[in-house]
Amino acid sequence: GESVGLHLPTLSVQEGDNSIINCAYSNSASDYFIWYKQESGKGPQFIIDIRSNMDKRQGQRVTVLLNKTVKHLSLQIAATQPGDSAVYFCAEKDTGTASKLTFGTGTRLQVTL
């Protein structure tokens, strides 16, 4: 989309396959994580969240995995569809900062037919 970086890492996935989008974070004090989806010309849209006391959370066709040991977050999308094509951002919240979020730079997901 025109509002998102031109040099984002890109993941190309065939329709029907599973997608895995990764995110590394650096703040060991982060206690809450969110995945957002941003389609071209639109604002970020909430997909799924997870608290730091959990390792895994599942939604509809999406799963978020959290590995606090290596500070890694992943978003798995099952049976990827053309409508999943977008930029995906992870965001983290420091335990001491109320609702203030820090965002990653994003990954572009391209779904091929």
Kindly list the residues in this chain that would bind another protein in the complex (CB under 8 A): 2-8, 31-32, 34, 36, 41-46, 49, 51, 89, 91, 93, 95, 98-106
Based on CB atoms, which residue is closest to another protein, 100 or 113? 100
Close Cβ partners of 30 (under 8 Å, ≥ 6 residues apart): 52, 92, 93, 94, 95, 102
Supply the minimum distance, in Å, between the C-beta of residue 26 and another protein. Answer: 13
Based on CB atoms, which residue is closest to another protein, 43 or 83? 43
Supply the minimum distance, in Å, between the C-beta of residue 47 and another protein. Answer: 9
Please report which residue ranges of the chain form alpha helices under DSSP H.
none
Supply the minimum distance, in Å, between the C-beta of residue 45 and another protein. Answer: 7
Based on CB atoms, which residue is closest to another protein, 85 or 93? 93
What residues does 111 pair with on adjacent strands? 13
Question: Which residue is listed with tokens 């569809």?
Answer: 81
Supply the minimum distance, in Å, between the C-beta of residue 67 and another protein. Answer: 19
Report the Cα 113 to chain-centroid distance in Å. 22
Based on CB atoms, which residue is closest to another protein, 6 or 113? 6
Q: Which tokens belong to 64? A: 């978020």
CA angle 109, 69, 36 (to 5 degrees): 30
